[in-house]
Amino acid sequence: MNWLGSLQQLGRAVMLPTMVLPAAAILLSLASLPWAGWGLPAVGEVAEAAGHGIFYFLPYIFAVGVALGMSNQAGQAGLAALAGMAIYDQVTRHFGSGTVHPATLIGIILGVISGFTHNRFKSIKLPEVLQFFGGSRFVLLFIGLFSAVFAFLMLGIAPVLQGALERLASMEGMMGGYGLFLYGVLYRILVAFGLHHLLNNIFWFQLGTYQTADGNLVQGDLPRFFAGDPTAGYFMSGLFPIMMFALPAIALAIIHEAREDLKPKIRKTFLTAAFVCFLTGVSEQIEFAFLFAAPYLFLLHAVLSGIAMWITYALDIRHGFSYSAGFIDYVLNFHLSHHAWLLIPVGVAYGLIYYILFRWAIRTFRIPTPGREEGSVLEDWAGGIPYRAPLILEALGGKENIVQLQSCITRLRLTVHNDRLIDTGAMKALGSAGLIKLGGGNVQVVFGTYSELIREEIAKLMERDLTQVMFNAPVQGKMLPILEVPDQIFAAKLVGDGVAFIPERGELVSPVHGTVMHIYPTMHAIGISTPEGIEVLLHIGIDTSQLKGYFTALVEAGDTVEPGQLLIKFDLQALREQAASLVTPMVITNPDRVKSWSYAPFKHVKKGQASVMSVVLYDRNVGGVES
């Protein structure tokens, strides 16, 4: 794993513990209500204590969360990190004379070490008399001993480290708006690589200290904001105009610049994406719609994001969030903000600028954003995730290619043996907004907020030992459900079950590995048997059995074929004039062997495109009886 891949995994792990912060924000927002006036003062006191309790134990939460993220959710690593934090707290509390406190940085360090130790030594074997401490139990033993030594060393290092962070915070404060501008630009650029959580952790959870009324020290812009620090919130305020207004404006520009025939589908998809971004601040679905198509526009977006940070600083706007800069956090935390009402006019102005700019750029430079070409991504297909997961897994190179599978809010984060085996075209057809290869087998695939559901379905598939057959597209053209074939024999599935295609070129290629069983005399149809016993029929056009001289077979019965291998050439123009229809069915003639079916989106496909259909077969015992 290269250094960029390691940072990817760390970024994902650091993000995991922040998922508990919305609960703190909701509790503190509830605590701000006039419970005393309603005769229920205890409710407000409990809510406030509970909300601040999350921030008080934030170092522990980070330790456990990072350890789980670094170890692929291994409970032993999380327990080791928790024990390590308890040891660190007790040692520094006893010997530090109140000068050393647990911090989120310490939690991250212990979480990383716990995760690394688990991954490295979870299968360690010790001499027989000591084997009780072998395996995953060794992780708990090692971290317990390590934490004691680490805590003792930090008695001298922590003050120096804290001083360095305070100097960095002071330098950032001296830079004023320019410093926030640099932060905003860098933050937006790192979003493309999924590494923005590392940057945010420094500014949101490390820089700046504030002592609460009860004597507790809190660090970082985010905890200080919720603790009532009047100087906190600058590193979050400038994100609200971008998330609530600018990015939804880009979605509207994409909708209005879409082709008329694709506009209804794009409107549904991107209105949803715009609402999600406005409400929750989840922005990748929109940003990845133009990141790869126009990276220079993304750089301009990064600069404008930095300027937004500078503007909110100049207007002395301080607002914060527990999750992201969406409308929910804007309302929940408004009672803690300063001049937050100004974010609305600033956001409206930003929305207008972004809308005009992006519509002009998309039209002037003919940027292929979704809706301007076939195969647009980000469709609403949450209900089909269990059926498309096998296709996504195959497009990733199969389960043998996957070393580690994780996800964050908007993307799959994978480590694979060979990233060249990933079919980027198939991934786009299956709904991916973008694919980023970081090197060393580390890959990110953006699926939006469905990413975690997709990960779960893929994980289930990887745990099963299923007999699965994947189908490539036999022609270039549009894929159709078998029910739409203009022939009742095929549409009623009397021949078999499968899909169909409207070819755009006169070439038929093999969709599977197999052996040619037979070729019809006119060469308009061909049968292939796969090693798993599936029998596949490819029938070029409807009512073409009497048309002679328009088909040329390049294989013979008994030949072994591979996916993408050319089977038959045909005169497309002549068939268009003389055949009842060009629709070309691809059916399995022994569908009783099939346990479940999966289909890619019914849209345009390329010849030989992988993962357009997948079937899982019933197992057969030795006697041939299905089970």
pLDDT digits (tens, 9 = 90+) for 86-99: 999 999 888 877 66
Look at residue 340 in the predicted model and tell me its pLDDT.
96
Yes or no: say if 585 and 472 are a contact pair by the CB < 8 Å rule: no
Secondary element (H or E) of residue 45 = helix 41-56
Q: What's the rounded mean pLDDT across residues 252-273?
A: 88
Look at residue 319 in the predicted model and tell me its pLDDT.
96
C-alpha closest to that of 250 among 342, 366, 365, 369: 369
Q: What's the rounded mean pLDDT across residues 52-81?
A: 90
Q: What's the rounded mean pLDDT across residues 447-456?
A: 80
Yes or no: say if 183 and 196 are a contact pair by the CB < 8 Å rule: no
pLDDT at 375 over 70: no
DSSP 77-117: HHHHHHHHHHHHHHHHHHHSTTS----HHHHHHHHHHHHHH
pLDDT at 327 over 60: yes
Instruction: Say which residue, 235 or 268, is predicted with more confidence.
Output: 235
d(Cα 24, Cα 89) in Å, to the nearest integer? 23
Look at residue 4 in the predicted model and tell me its pLDDT.
63
Q: What's the rounded mean pLDDT across residues 494-502?
A: 94
Residue 575 tokens read as 């068939």
pLDDT at 278 over 90: yes
C-alpha closest to that of 409 among 247, 280, 293, 243: 280
Look at residue 400 in the predicted model and tell me its pLDDT.
84
CB atoms within 10 A of CB 503: 23
Amino acid at 185: V
Q: What's the rounded mean pLDDT across residues 434-448?
A: 81
Q: Helices 451-463 and 385-395, interaxial angle, to 10°?
A: 70
Look at residue 295 in the predicted model and tell me its pLDDT.
87
pLDDT interval class at 348 (50, 70, 90): very high
Q: Using CA of residue 353, residue 358, residue 359, residue 360, what is the dihedral sign?
A: positive
Instruction: Say which residue, 406 or 313, is predicted with more confidence.
Output: 313
Q: What's the rounded mean pLDDT across residues 445-465?
A: 80
Yes or no: say if 482 and 324 are a contact pair by the CB < 8 Å rule: no
Which residues are bridge partners to 369 per DSSP?
Answer: none
C-alpha closest to that of 220 among 231, 15, 93: 231
Look at residue 63 in the predicted model and tell me its pLDDT.
93
Look at residue 601 in the predicted model and tell me its pLDDT.
80
Amino acid at 615: V
pLDDT at 40 over 50: yes
Q: Give the tens place of pLDDT for each residue, 554-564.
A: 999 999 999 99
| Mean pLDDT across the chain | 87
Q: Give the tens place of pLDDT for each residue, 570-627.
A: 999 999 999 999 999 999 999 999 988 888 888 888 898 888 898 988 865 433 444 4
pTM exceeds 0.75, yes or no:
no
Highest mean pLDDT out of 115-129, 198-212, 240-254: 240-254
> Which residue in 408, 446, 461, 540 is the catalytic one?
408
pLDDT interval class at 419 (50, 70, 90): confident
pLDDT at 185 over 90: yes
C-alpha closest to that of 146 among 190, 109, 100, 119: 109
Look at residue 622 in the predicted model and tell me its pLDDT.
34
In the residue annotation, 408 being an active-site residue is answered as yes
pLDDT at 314 over 90: yes
Yes or no: say if 194 and 408 are a contact pair by the CB < 8 Å rule: yes
CB atoms within 10 A of CB 363: 13
